[in-house]
Chain A
């Protein structure tokens, strides 16, 4: 099929995705595969006294039932066993089947392996457990004020603490956010295949195949080169695949034990109890300002939950330290261990939670000051990073404010809440700002120029959806000056050179730099090959040659000329290969603060009869530096806004505190935004290259697309109704009381 039938900015993997040919982990067809289905705990804390497996074991098709009593020794579970685990590595997270302890409801306690999925499911229900139960704690709201249970994570102070109290005007408010889950449409899956005693191939839903490879090699005492991790396509992740969950070691253990490839696919309920989530939080924020609106002091305290077996922390209070220019700031952050599974990074981790409080409180302050909320932000615009005192490598947030105001029609916003009506609905406008770190990590990329003139690029990254391959092809297209249709970017296989984990909005920056550098190296190499092998180039130096339109041409008079494909043929090779490593941002970058910024503007309707909130218009603006692929970047901003609608209005995991069970652990009861919840979404980018961060000038937009959005909705709801709702999600009943 000819991919050129599509416009240049279409996704390079679009055809694979719309035809169903794209292979996600569970889609892989493996001969002689067996199926593993988890049995999970129905208590929140305690131990398994006895696991009754006889009936299940005799069930048709069952190959094995793996649990703590028969789990083979896993080196990574025993960091102090020098014989088994020379490197002293310890598996992070739940050590599945390691012992009989139960840390949370829904914890995997056994894996039933059978020759078909149906038989495994059937047998799994025959496994019975007798438990020793212990008292447990899952109620965050009840316990968050109990200092004896909290762990201090960090404190920050600049200037005078609680200086807001002395300001002309100040606001103080508490904010509450629930557990939110990523729940990507693809459920987590792992296929493990032992290719001998010391060689392992794993198909896994991973945001970082290299990371998974390294973890597995160390956990199972294998050479890293003997572990191959393949992640061809990822069906969404949003942070949920930044680390490995119990399905990964369980599949590997099971495949070893039954001597067959084993596929472990979580079901939707298990996506709640075995995969991490955005933790529940409480925040108290106070902001003071002069009568003119200059910030005097910000105080921000936060508590979020973690599990009993790991300390999960995130930067909830960080943006309050640096998003605005303010002389006095103090923050604190604590975590509360509960008998739940461990939370994890979810899109805009920490920042999204913190921005809800900061940006809502600023809005409230603006009303108190009788000031436009955007003007309040402009008045306190930070030109230097307030913590490091460094200049930003680039910052075009004011431009975002301007574009957002214009596109949403900010001048129609009523300054007094609750007055504007449209079609019988209360109308409100709101905005919220977002920020996230930008940076650049290590990446290696291989470039292969074949004699047919096509260029293949390879790196062991995966793409959870933003369109990494598409962006990389566009970068290569620009550097090589050759058509995108002749460039292929291959990813998702640890046999390729090491690429970064896709997270924290750094892939385009990190990998794009690698692609840019490898293309530069390839061009240099081609010039040298031309000088060495082609008569008309013999007298030229590399500086005399340019590569344009797939040809090497003498800059002087154009007399020497050869196509790239011809050059490969002349050298007598099938292809020219080169691997280039790209490092972290250079020393120059240490002189700058690096962030991406966003400003979200929304218009809502609130039904005065029911309290239902509906988004009517959204403008999402983001300074992500240079936009490599406008089409996919726009989709990321839209996706972030949709995630923000969920955070603001619909998403909340509910816990039955009498059992510790997640009550709404399915997509029918955990409400993610649907088609009917989402209006047209306008996006805008300053699209100004960052001069410092990397060779392409791209900073990244994945997180800022969400950070600050929920506050924009809450602020619009206040503008419509005069009701300030500081507890997410905002529910109709909150507005009717």
Chain B
């Protein structure tokens, strides 16, 4: 049986990125650079920070980011928006879900630089100032969490669930929300919270 060299997180993504970065560089880089950068590694280092502009929670940002950085790590480590959680970093759990141009996205699977020009909404931008979003209120009312760690992702997914018209029955909600894992097992209360927001007919 063939073993991987070693276990460390993000291995596959990083090597993928190096390759794709190299391809991008080949297509856009001036000749001088190509001569200088014989190896992928050198190119990756040269382009250590890539400029992007995007809007997050209604605010414009011009950032320089590591091309290998995920949207999740950019939000958390670079901008301090730690409301979005890292639950697996592999797209399995949904704790990192944010809205990108109105669509729910696992931010751990989205490369930060791919979000140039996009509009991002995170849990921090869901309410209006101190006023909670109806889904946040419903989660509190129905005790739709215990530890609260998966909650930002659940709420972002729940808002998308109602907006996408997939909150008509409890079973429809369960299906739509099945990418959001809650280890504390608050699922029944989450379904209750979403049903209530849906039934209230509030614009969200």
Q: Is the CB of B25 closer than 8 A to any CB of chain A?
A: no
* Chain B, range 83-118, C-beta contacts under 8 Å to A: 83-93, 95
Using Cβ atoms and an 8 Å threshold, which residues of chain B touch A237?
Answer: 147
Q: Is A666 an interface residue (CB 8 A)?
A: yes
**Other-chain contact of A640, B4, B127, B185, B188 (Cβ < 8 Å):** B185
A678 & B185 in contact (Cβ 8 Å cutoff): yes
Q: Which of B83, B146, B184 contacts A20 (CB 8 A)?
A: B83
- Given A121-B14, A122-B68, A639-B185, are A18 and B132 neighbors across the interface (CB < 8 Å)? yes
List which A655-681 residues lie within 8 A (CB) of chain B: 656, 658-659, 666-668, 672-676, 678-681
Counting CB contacts under 8 A, is A540 at the interface?
A: no
Is A175 interfacial (CB-CB < 8 Å)? no
CB of B71 within 8 Å of the partner chain: no
Contact between chains at A23 and B187 (CB < 8 Å):
no
Q: Considering the complex, which residues of chain A in the window 489-523 have a beta carbon less than 8 Å from any beta carbon of chain B? A: none
Q: Is the Cβ of B143 less than 8 Å from the Cβ of A632?
A: yes
Cβ-neighbour of B183 out of A29, A634, A672 (below 8 A)? A672
CA distance A237 to B83 in the complex (A): 19
A235 touches B185 (CB 8 A): no
* Cβ-defined partner of B177 (8 Å) among A16, A121, A658, A675: A675
Q: Which residues of B contact A128 (CB under 8 A)?
A: 5-6
Query: Which of A29, A127, A667 is B80 in contact with, Cβ under 8 Å?
Result: A29
In-complex Cβ contact of B132 among A15, A467, A639 (8 A): A15
Contact with A along B144-176 (1 / 0, CB 8 A): 011111111001000000000000001001110
Given A15-B140, A19-B127, A185-B93, does the pair A124, B3 have CB atoms closer than 8 Å?
Answer: no
8 A Cβ contacts from A162-219 to B = 182-187
Is the beta-carbon distance between B45 and A235 smaller than 8 angstroms? no
Question: Are A672 and B87 in contact, CB atoms less than 8 angstroms apart?
Answer: no
Specify the chain A residue showing the minimal Cβ separation from B7: A40
When the two chains form their complex, are residues A39 and B191 in contact, meaning their CB atoms are under 8 A apart? no
A635 surroundings in chain B (CB, below 8 A)? 143, 146, 184, 186, 189
Please, which residues of chain A bring their CB within 8 A of the CB of B1?
656, 658-659
Partner among B8, B76, B150, B170 whose Cβ is within 8 Å of the Cβ of A27? B76
- Assembled-state Cα–Cα distance A678/B80 (Å): 34
Q: Is the CB of A185 within 8 A of B66?
A: no
Contact A268 B185 (CB under 8 A): no
CB of A597 within 8 Å of the partner chain: no
Would you call B3 and A185 a contact (CB within 8 A)?
Answer: no
**Are A467 and B146 also in contact (CB < 8 A) when A238-B183, A678-B188 are?**
yes
Kindly list chain A residues whose C-beta atoms are within 8 Å of the C-beta of B87: 185-187, 268, 667
Once the chains are docked, how many angstroms separate the CA of A659 from the CA of B126? 47
| Stretch of A3-11, A292-300, A396-404 that contacts chain B | A3-11
Asked whether A159 is an interface residue with its Cβ less than 8 Å from the other chain, the reply is: no
Min CB distance A247 to B, Å, is 13
Contact B6 A641 (CB under 8 A): no
- Judged by a CB distance under 8 angstroms, whether B124 is at the interface is yes
Tell whether B120 is near chain A: CB-to-CB under 8 Å. Answer: no
**Which of chain A's residues has its CB closest to B180's CB?**
A675
Note all chain B residues with C-beta closer than 8 A to A235: 85, 147-150
**A236 and B8 contact, Cβ closer than 8 Å, known pairs A14-B140, A639-B185:** no
B85 touches A21 (CB 8 A): no
Q: A32 → chain B, closest Cβ, in Å?
A: 13
Among residues of B, the one whose C-beta sits closest to the C-beta of A184 is: B183
Structural contact, B190 and A675, CB atoms closer than 8 A: yes
Do B184 and A125 touch (CB < 8 A)?
A: no
Chain A residues within 8 Å of B190, by CB: 675
Tell me whether A19 and B123 are in contact (CB under 8 A): yes
A465 to B146, CA, bound (A): 5
**How long is the Cα–Cα vector from A118 to B3 in the complex, in angstroms?**
23
Given known A-B contacts A236-B147, A267-B89, A676-B174, A659 and B10 have beta carbons under 8 A apart:
no
Q: Of B89, B93, B185, which contacts A641 at CB under 8 A?
A: B185
Q: How far is the CB of B21 from chain A (nearest CB, A)?
A: 12
Scoring A residues 20 to 64 as 1 if CB is less than 8 Å from chain B, else 0, what string do you get? 111110110100000001111010000000000000000010000
Shortest Cβ gap from B117 to chain A (Å): 23
Decide: A60 and B45 in contact? CB cutoff 8 A: yes
A432 on the B face (CB < 8 A) = no
Contact B6 A127 (CB under 8 A): yes
Query: Could you tell me the distance between the alpha carbons of A638 and B146 in the complex, rounded to whole angstroms?
Result: 11
A392 within 8 A of B: no
How many Å from the CB of B89 to the closest CB on chain A? 6
B8 touches A185 (CB 8 A): no
Of residues A42, A236, A466, which shows the largest number of chain B Cβ atoms within 10 Å of its Cβ?
Answer: A236
| Given A118-B73, A121-B8, A675-B180, also A20-B149 (CB < 8 A) | no
Q: Judge whether A638 and B9 touch: CB under 8 Å.
A: no
Kindly state the separation between the CA atoms of A186 and B80 in the bound complex, as whole angstroms: 17
Question: Is the CB of A464 closer than 8 A to any CB of chain B?
Answer: yes
- CB pair A668 B92 closer than 8 Å: yes
Please name all residues of chain B whose beta carbon is closer than 8 Å to the beta carbon of A97 when the two chains form the complex.
none
- A234: CB under 8 A from chain B? yes
**Residue in contact with A267 in the complex, picked from B9, B81, B127, CB distance below 8 Å:** B9
Answer whether residue A642 sits at the interface, using C-beta atoms and an 8 A cutoff: yes
Chain B residues bordering chain A, tally (CB within 8 A) = 73
Residues of B within 8 A of A259 (CB): none
Output the least CB separation between A203 and chain B (Å).
13
Q: Is A269 an interface residue (CB 8 A)?
A: yes
A18, B152: Cα distance in complex, Å: 6
A636 at the interface (CB under 8 A from B): yes
Q: Which residues of B contact A666 (CB under 8 A)?
A: 88, 90, 92
Q: How far is the CA of A568 from the CA of B199 in the complex (A)?
A: 49
B6–A40 CB distance below 8 A: yes
A643 at the interface (CB under 8 A from B): yes
Check A225 for interface membership: any CB of B closer than 8 A: no
Given A19-B136, A124-B8, A185-B87 in contact, is the A679-B188 Cβ separation under 8 Å?
yes
| Complex: A38 Cα to B6 Cα, angstroms | 10
- Does A695 make an interface contact (CB < 8 A)? no
Q: Closest Cβ of chain B: how far from A205's Cβ, in Å?
A: 10
For the complex, give the distance between the alpha carbons of A124 and B6 in Å. 8
Q: Which of B85, B139, B178 contacts A186 (CB 8 A)?
A: B85
* Given A10-B143, A269-B7, A634-B143, CB of A20 within 8 Å of CB of B181: no
Given A18-B136, A185-B95, A236 contacting B149 (CB threshold 8 A): yes
**Min CB–CB distance B182 → chain A (angstroms):** 7
B153 smallest CB distance to A (angstroms): 9
Is the CB–CB distance between B14 and A636 below 8 Å? no
Known: A29-B80, A235-B148. A676 touches B66 (CB 8 A): no
For A676, the chain B residues whose CB sits under 8 A away are: 174-175, 178
Complex Cα gap A165–B59 (Å): 75
In whole angstroms, what is the CA distance A496 to B183 when docked? 29
> A587: CB under 8 A from chain B?
no
Inside 8 A of A16's CB, which chain B residues have their CB? 148
Q: What are the residues of chain B within 8 A of A7 when measuring CB–CB?
A: 141
* B173 proximity list for chain A (CB < 8 A): 675
Asked if A667 meets B92 with Cβ closer than 8 Å, knowing A29-B80, A42-B3, A42-B4, the reply is: yes
Q: Which residue of A lies closest to B95 (CB)?
A: A185
Provide the A123-150 mask, 1 if CB < 8 A to any CB of B, else 0.
Answer: 0110111000000000000000000000
Looking across the interface, which residue of chain B has its beta carbon closest to that of A14? B140
Could you say which of B90, B177, B180, B190 has the most chain A C-beta atoms within 10 Å of its C-beta?
B90
Give A62 Cβ to nearest chain B Cβ, in Å.
13
**Closest A residue to B84 using CB positions:** A20
Residue of A nearest to B175 (CB): A676
Chain B nearest Cβ from A116, distance in angstroms: 7
Contacts of B68 in A (CB 8 A): 118, 122
A contact residues vs B (CB 8 Å cutoff): 1, 6-7, 10-11, 13-24, 26-27, 29, 37-40, 42, 60, 106, 116-118, 121-122, 124-125, 127-129, 182-187, 233-238, 265, 267-270, 464-467, 631-632, 634-636, 638-643, 656, 658-659, 666-668, 672-676, 678-681
A-B contact pairs, 7 of them (CB 8 A): A19-B123, A121-B10, A122-B14, A127-B6, A185-B95, A185-B147, A267-B89
When A and B form their complex, which 7 residue pairs have the shortest distance between CB atoms, in order from nearest? A20-B83, A642-B185, A235-B149, A17-B148, A465-B147, A465-B146, A27-B82
